[in-house]
A and B are shown apart, each in its own frame.
Chain A
Amino acid sequence: MREFGYQRVFDVPGAVALLGTDPEARFLGGGTNLVDLMKAGVERPALLVDVTELPLGRIEATADGGLRIGATVTNSDLAADPQVRRHYPALAQAVLAGASGQLRNMATIGGNLLQRTRCGYFADLTKPCNKRVPGSGCPAIEGEHHNHAILGASEHCVAVHPSDMGVALTAFDAVVSYETADGPGELPLAEFYLPVGDTPHLETALPSGALITGITLPPNPVAAVSRYRKVRERASYAFAIGSIAAALDVRDGLVREVRLAFGAVASRPWRAREAERLLTGGPASAEAFAAAADAELAAAETLPHNAYKVTLMRNLVVAVLTELTEEATR
């Protein structure tokens, strides 16, 4: 690990200003991903600006009935929050499905959004990786890729985003707030993560030097009937090989509103807008769910060892929407 300076900051302008003093500075939240990557030599900051004492640790209702979640709220506190559990149950479930109790106590939601991929080649300094060393190549395409992307990937990178929380936030149209030296800004989650293209090393649209200050969930009545479901290779404490966040409003057998996002299939949480479009106004039936999933997954491009994900995601969509239909009409 490279030697680094460390400063704890107590106010947002101070944090942003301090980060601006060193192009190699990074913000430190819970450290559950950053410290791990520093040990591996993937991240080599010269200065860590510890943001955990910033006054960003609250979850508050917004005037319009949404929720504002401070960036330093821990995953545990987010999942335990009664408002989150009541109005956005899939978000609580997504957070609880991730990592372990210990890690959830440490990890902050700001850091969670900025998690790096768990692609084995990304953390292996002896291997090329376009995300780590632009232009060096992507060995996963020819190598170990059974948990790699089937949607939105490119010949330059097929890694997937590891967040569970981000999948639920994507389904619920969350907006990320940030602060820069030039003032505050906002990014809807749909625009927060950049497409892979030929720049897999550029992951978010956050301006350089920006500090994530929080996430706003717009009021979203449909989210009250929502679920997160995660498929992984063991029952707990493992990253997803496929996951889904879904919310559904069904009246008289027809889908009034639906939200659908996929995890572990793309470089970012994947909002299934095509499926949502097809479902809205149509029948809430297994056939319709399957057809919508198929339409969303028509764009899937598989590699020799990850083609199973197409079937998996299709079955996930059908299973979870079927359950939500029962719950919504109960």
Chain B
Amino acid sequence: MGATRIPGNITQGSTAKGGIGESTLRPDGTLKVTGEFAYSSDMWHEDMLWGFTLRSPHAHAEIKSIDTSEALAQAGVYAVLTYDDLPTDVKNYGLEIQDTPVLAHGRVRHHGEPVALVAADHPETARRAAAKIKVEYVQLPVVHDEQTALAEDAPLLHPGRDDHHAGHVPHPNVVHRQPIHRGDVAAARARADVIVSGEYVVGMQDQAFLGPESGLAVPAEDGGVDLYIATQWLHSDLRQIAPVLGLPPEKVRMTLSGVGGAFGGREDLSMQIHACLLALRTGKPVKIVYNRFESFFGHVHRHPAKLWYEHGATKDGKLTHMRCRIVLDGGAYASASPAVVGNASSLSVGPYVIDDVEIEAVALYTNNPPCGAMRGFGAVQACFAYEAQMDKLAAELGMDPVEFRRLNAMSQGTLLPTGQVVDSPAPVAELLRRIKAMPLPPERQWETAGESADVRALPGGLSNTTHGEGVVRGVGYAVGIKNVGFSEGFDDYSTARVRLEVVGGEPVAVVHTAMAEVGQGGVTVHAQIARTELGVTQVTIHPADTQVGSAGSTSASRQTYVTGGAVKNTCEAVREKVLELGRARFGSYHPAWATAELLLESGKVVTDGGEVLADLVEVLEGEAIDLELEWRHRPTEAFDLHTGQGNGHVQYSFAAHRAVVEVDTELGLVKVVELACAQDVGRALNPLSVVGQIQGGTTQGLGLAVMEEIVVSKEAKVRNPSFTDYLIPTILDTPTIPVDVLELADEHAPYGLRGIGEAPTLSSTPAVVSAIRAATGLALNRVPVRPEHLTGT
């Protein structure tokens, strides 16, 4: 075994080709199918120690005392750290509000909160030593829902709040509240011929990425630390880590290691600071790897939500107004709750035209597990509710649910409830038309399959189902809207460094960004952009690290837009430098150097007319062009705290789903036969990856619809932290997912592209539930829908 195992450059074989618009394969693909790709849990350093985290068994308790002496005395134990060992005055961290203690101080606020750390020479030794830490707890009353959180005498999760939301919230246990008012709801309501309302509930979903939180911290000779980590945003981590360690940012050198899935769950810190603290304390490399149980406590979840909605419509099917109240349970710490509130409120109306609205969204502080980012956050919860409402309205009006939606669909030019004009294509009606026009899978396949029933085609397959008598087909539709990129005035930018040089007689581009590749295929797209813009075949992807400027987060469907945009922008600047060099060296040989539009293609400088002027190799002549540039999308602005008005978003993403389900009403089993998706992607930079993202998001939405929920007891304790008890879809639960991709360019975005990763997660869930409702006639106002909700009792 070598001295270390850490990430390295990724260079695709010389057979790799393909610029934007082509379905090129992943540059890291071969490494991933051979097992060579180095994930964060694979990091290894000679002489390294293993860290372990002692967590609170209680959801809410005062810590009277912590005695670490017995743990420290164990053979093989190098360090035991508690709050008192934190080296500086900075003892909290957080994405937006720094309310999360690095280690608990006097009080634990949720089940599984980190209390102490151990470093030992073996993971089992560390685990056993942690069990010998004596913590004296006095349990406190638990805040576990809206009623207990907002009671006048409710225990305050964070007394003495001084964050920027503290001043405007109605109760200190409200993290953030965003109202949006537009138009005259009373007047519009009076015009309505039908009014429907409903209360909807979304359970707590987990990202459940397959690769648990892990990383390796290596103390450096300069007193700093090198951290190899799986995260979604290196620089955000860095901003939170360095002050706690008391180190300047340049002494905390972070390198992205292989990320085993993220889906929002790696936006917050987990073991980053802990590993660094132990490494700096012991002077030895420290690796921390969570097990699955711990992973369920080690990251935030999707906010469970209660949503009350009222819509009205005229008898000819035009929406009159909407009122809604969305209550999101943020759990013990703020995490991304403020942004979740922003999305939930500003997108609560869905992709529809409604001029008169009264909207309120709040996120609560409770003693439940902290909730934050998960694919589609805020918008996922709202979409489940407003799409259920659309079905109800259509039924009430006796209209086709798709036609009703089309009649009210937003389009380019629509004014959002926030007063913002949708200034790029919004083909909502067209997506609905396409999804409805797709051919339906054959009915009752078990009957057409032959003489005897083909029970494989039934819900749950052979072992699960009845013979078909009680099996009812249902079809459901849904459509959603998701904002792309960071909203509400956040300075959302990315940085790309591109180096072009001749290696072995061939021009090679090295692309270096801090973008977290989490499986979305960002590095594939970067290589494609570099090939397109620089006319090279060979592209090397430098490991993502903090030696280059921030790329922002791999979340909010933003990376292809923003870091893709940054790579394109830097490539264009590099190309300009190449052309400058070329003009200087060869300009006198051909007038086109001065007059023509010049491009780089196939390793050559060519005119837009296709005339070859020079070889890139000759132009560069041993020189390397190396540029690092920042790139940002159009600025956004914050929503007004009272009216909710403001140009808060930069781009939107739309997807529509049609679910075809067969429900065994006697056994409560649901088979999703097909889950078709139509989505506008602006421009498909890599069609293969686009389809993969859409199918993946759709599958996670399916999981929320019929099985996924973290069960939290009345005592605010997690009851199912395992893959036996928290079920995610298997391959057998996943139907065929036909994808219809629409490409209507957004002129404001690089190549006209649109962020795509989240939209399919939104509409998948309500489409499936709509189809189950159609099959069963049940109201089903809560997800996930389980067998017990379908059989009745």
The answer on A and B forming one complex is yes
Interface residues in chain A, defined as those with a beta carbon under 8 Å from any beta carbon in chain B: 1, 93, 96-97, 118, 120, 126, 143-144, 146, 228-239, 241, 305, 307-308, 310-312, 315-316, 318-319, 322-323, 326
Closest residue on chain B to residue A327 by CB atoms: B452
**B88 interface residue, CB < 8 Å from A?**
no
Task: Kindly list chain A residues whose C-beta atoms are within 8 Å of the C-beta of B707.
Answer: 233-234
Q: Are B786 and A233 in contact (CB under 8 A)?
A: yes
Q: Are B467 and A241 in contact (CB under 8 A)?
A: no
Whether A96 touches B57, Cβ cut-off 8 Å, given contacts A120-B720, A234-B729, A238-B727, is: no
CA distance A308 to B787 in the complex (A): 9
Whether A229 touches B713, Cβ cut-off 8 Å, given contacts A315-B791, A319-B667, is: no
7 further A-B pairs in the complex, CB-CB below 8 A; given A233-B727, A308-B791, A323-B466: A120-B719, A231-B787, A234-B706, A235-B671, A236-B730, A312-B791, A315-B466
Q: Are B467 and A323 in contact (CB under 8 A)?
A: yes
CA distance A323 to B461 in the complex (A): 15
CB distance from A176 to the nearest CB of B (A): 25
CA distance A96 to B463 in the complex (A): 9
CA distance A264 to B266 in the complex (A): 37
CB distance from A227 to the nearest CB of B (A): 9
Residue of A229, A235, A307, A308 with most partner-chain B CB within 10 A: A235
Mark out the residues of chain B between 756 and 793 whose CB falls within 8 Å of any chain A CB in the assembled complex.
786-788, 791-793
**B732 interface residue, CB < 8 Å from A?**
yes
CA distance A120 to B710 in the complex (A): 13
CA distance A120 to B462 in the complex (A): 28
Task: Kindly list chain A residues whose C-beta atoms are within 8 Å of the C-beta of B469.
Answer: 319, 322
**B711 interface residue, CB < 8 Å from A?**
yes
Interface residues in chain B, defined as those with a beta carbon under 8 Å from any beta carbon in chain A: 57, 124, 460-467, 469-470, 666-669, 671, 706-707, 711, 713, 719-720, 724-725, 727, 729-730, 732-733, 786-788, 791-793
Task: Kindly list chain B residues whose C-beta atoms are within 8 Å of the C-beta of A118.
Answer: 724
Task: Kindly list chain A residues whose C-beta atoms are within 8 Å of the C-beta of B124.
Answer: 1
Closest residue on chain B to residue A97 by CB atoms: B463
Closest residue on chain A to residue B666 by CB atoms: A315
Task: Kindly list chain A residues whose C-beta atoms are within 8 Å of the C-beta of B788.
Answer: 146, 241, 305, 308, 312
Closest A-B pairs by Cβ, 9 of them = A315-B666, A308-B788, A319-B466, A235-B732, A97-B463, A307-B793, A236-B732, A308-B793, A144-B719
CB distance from B430 to the nearest CB of A (A): 33
Task: Report the number of A-B residue pairs with Cβ-Cβ less than 8 Å.
Answer: 95
CB distance from B688 to the nearest CB of A (A): 27
Q: Are A312 and B787 in contact (CB under 8 A)?
A: yes
Whether A93 touches B666, Cβ cut-off 8 Å, given contacts A234-B730, A235-B733, is: no
CB distance from A315 to the nearest CB of B (A): 4
Q: Are B466 and A235 in contact (CB under 8 A)?
A: no
Q: Are B791 and A120 in contact (CB under 8 A)?
A: no
Q: Are A229 and B463 in contact (CB under 8 A)?
A: yes
CA distance A144 to B726 in the complex (A): 13
Can you list 9 A-B contacts (CB < 8 A)?
A144-B719, A231-B464, A233-B707, A233-B727, A235-B732, A236-B461, A241-B787, A315-B470, A319-B466
**Partner of A319 from B57, B467, B668, B787 at Cβ < 8 Å:** B467
Q: Are B720 and A232 in contact (CB under 8 A)?
A: no
Residue of A143, A239, A308 with most partner-chain B CB within 10 A: A308
Task: Kindly list chain A residues whose C-beta atoms are within 8 Å of the C-beta of B787.
Answer: 231, 233, 241, 308, 312
Q: Are A235 and B460 in contact (CB under 8 A)?
A: yes
Q: Are A144 and B730 in contact (CB under 8 A)?
A: no
Q: Are A239 and B724 in contact (CB under 8 A)?
A: yes
Closest residue on chain A to residue B727 by CB atoms: A234
Q: Are A235 and B668 in contact (CB under 8 A)?
A: no
CA distance A127 to B583 in the complex (A): 76
CB distance from B365 to the nearest CB of A (A): 25
CB distance from B292 to the nearest CB of A (A): 11
CA distance A118 to B724 in the complex (A): 9
Task: Kindly list chain B residues whose C-beta atoms are within 8 Å of the C-beta of A323.
Answer: 466-467
Task: Kindly list chain A residues whose C-beta atoms are within 8 Å of the C-beta of B467.
Answer: 319, 322-323, 326
CA distance A14 to B175 in the complex (A): 66
CA distance A120 to B719 in the complex (A): 7
Task: Kindly list chain A residues whose C-beta atoms are within 8 Å of the C-beta of B725.
Answer: 120
Q: Are A126 and B57 in contact (CB under 8 A)?
A: yes
Closest residue on chain B to residue A322 by CB atoms: B467
Task: Kindly list chain B residues whose C-beta atoms are within 8 Å of the C-beta of A143.
Answer: 713, 719
CB distance from A262 to the nearest CB of B (A): 14
CB distance from B669 to the nearest CB of A (A): 6
CA distance A235 to B466 in the complex (A): 14
Q: Are A228 and B463 in contact (CB under 8 A)?
A: yes
Q: Are B671 and A319 in contact (CB under 8 A)?
A: no
Task: Kindly list chain A residues whose C-beta atoms are within 8 Å of the C-beta of B711.
Answer: 144
CB distance from B710 to the nearest CB of A (A): 12
Q: Are B464 and A230 in contact (CB under 8 A)?
A: yes
Whether A310 touches B793, Cβ cut-off 8 Å, given contacts A93-B462, A233-B707, A234-B730, is: yes
CA distance A317 to B115 in the complex (A): 51
Task: Kindly list chain B residues whose C-beta atoms are within 8 Å of the C-beta of A238.
Answer: 724, 727
Whether A231 touches B667, Cβ cut-off 8 Å, given contacts A126-B57, A144-B719, is: yes
CA distance A161 to B725 in the complex (A): 15
CA distance A318 to B671 in the complex (A): 20
Q: Are A93 and B667 in contact (CB under 8 A)?
A: no
Task: Kindly list chain A residues whose C-beta atoms are within 8 Å of the C-beta of B462.
Answer: 93
CB distance from A76 to the nearest CB of B (A): 16
